[in-house]
Structure 1
């Protein structure tokens, strides 16, 4: 039996976020607004040397470019209690072709794996091509494969979600506690943006499974066209009277050059496996 899709939808939201490879600020630090002396004026859609001036323009530019091109996105999510015990952990990668109907995504849950109705999920995969989507769930003792007719699986939209990027950026003051620097050794201008003054913690709470969030910092690498190549959110909050620290990271690479491989297990899919129609989501 497959995992109910209403639970998978929550997992997909949980697998969002943001970035590997950025040097981030620790939560709670609050430097004064500053920029490098050589940066002036408009740097990218919605981004200037003085701050993020239009969140909508920036997130629209990011989503539009990724919607029109192929890309690879890798992510890691970790939450720990104050004694360093892992509360939640996942990592994975999605490869999407020029068409949103061709993609391959996999997510692993090292420890502790989530459990749904006695099914302990350790690893799941999506492979989509044209109107067919294959899903594979790997648990401790069994593996389930489903095939259903749908032009695009939820995971293909999740990582370019304008709504998510907009909410996380909007959680911070856009000019105070803002630093932007130009990253060296890149073929075209890229800017490292740091936001450290959290003003709307509820927007972070909504996506991270905590009751409250008290501190957070955001670091992103953005190019002149508005693509967010790297993105990291670090936060501290509370749940059930326990302190939790977390980081969510995502990195977009191979934009315009990603090829989507067909996983080997697709060859083993038989007509005996369940087929789900368009209306059963």
Structure 2
């Protein structure tokens, strides 16, 4: 083959090879390849919106701070007047009443003078069942008592024990709402005041439940609880019920314990000295 015949074949081969490079992208220039920019991936969880406070320590989820609610209750009633109506009962498994105490306590402006009437019924061990009614009055410094039995009334006086008037303080609600898991189920209006309805869903700390007259009990269960709380944090009323087991001399007895309390006449309660005050004072003077 002469030179003139060889040249066209070489050129053809070059053209074919060039075509192959064009199909396989062998060219170093990548002008048609798009550039991908990395997107930042969020690593933090979104911040939850806190539930609004309906009252100090209270949200729609229930009591979130028992101490805040208890303090608000005490602060709102401090130095004010009010009446407390309370009731405690213990019934055995067949419904027979074993013990009952009813108390009405009136506290005057300044939270010092008060007058309380307690009535007892049933066969509970504490307080002593022979007491049918106890009336107590205080001028803020001394406590005067009239203890009424069937056919006898005894009088006494003593220095005022601050523990006696703890019923209107916030400690009872600190214990109560520490014992229970609660939630708000609605609201209502009474005498122009907006109240939140609180219910219990569980007993979380049974050791904080208010103690009943029974001195040995265990396994509180079948909880029933409702309360009304206003926007200031005043627990205007509550009703508590639960079943428990009393252990007496090795014998277990099932009982149903109920306790209720309500505040009335807030800001309008007055306290007058009882008619038996002079008799109590004379008795104390004679004893001295």
TM range (shorter): 0.7 to 0.9
CA distance in 2, matches of 1:196, 1:63: 25
Q: What is the CA-CA distance between 1:51 and the residue it aligns to?
A: 1.9
Q: Larger % of helix: which?
A: 2
Question: Which residue pairs with 2:195 in the alignment?
Answer: 190
Q: Quick check: 68-77 or 201-210, which moved more?
A: 201-210
Select the residue among 90, 100, 120 that pairs with 2:111: 100
Structure showing greater relative contact order (alpha-carbon pairs closer than 8 Å, 6 or more residues apart): 1
Equivalent residues in 2 for 1:165-180 (5 A)?
165-174=173-182, 178-180=183-185
The alignment status of 1:203 with 2:208, answered yes or no, reads yes
2:143 matches 1:120: no
2:236 aligns to what?
229
TM-score with structure 2 length normalisation? 0.73
SS of match in other structure, 2:266? coil
Distance in 1 (CA, whole Å) between partners of 2:213 and 2:198 is 22
Structure 1 pair 101–247 and aligned structure 2 pair: CA distance change class (3 A):
same
Which string of whole-angstrom CA distances, capped at 9 and with x for unpartnered residues, describes residues 259-281 of structure 1? Answer: 0022211133353336899xxxx
Quickly say closer, same or farther: Cα 1:276–1:95, change in 2 above 3 A: farther
Shift of 1:102: 0.6
Q: Which residue of structure 2 aligns with residue 44 of structure 1?
A: 55
TM-score w.r.t. structure 1 length? Answer: 0.75
Q: Tell me the number of residue pairs that the alignment of Structure 1 and Structure 2 aligns.
A: 232
Contact 1:147 1:276 in 2 (8 A): no
* Partner-residue secondary structure (3-state), 2:109: coil
SS at match of 1:222: strand
Unaligned runs of 5+ in 2: 1-50
CA-CA distance at 1:188 after TM superposition: 2.8
Listed as ranges, the gaps of 5+ residues in structure 1 are 1-39
Structure 1 stretches (4+) deviating beyond 4 angstroms? 113-117, 205-208, 274-277
CA-CA distance at 1:71 after TM superposition: 0.7
Aligned counterparts of 1:44 and 1:273: Cα–Cα separation in 2: 46
Change (3 A) 1:56 1:191: same
Whole-angstrom distance in 2 between the partners of 1:102 and 1:86: 33
Partner of 2:168: 160
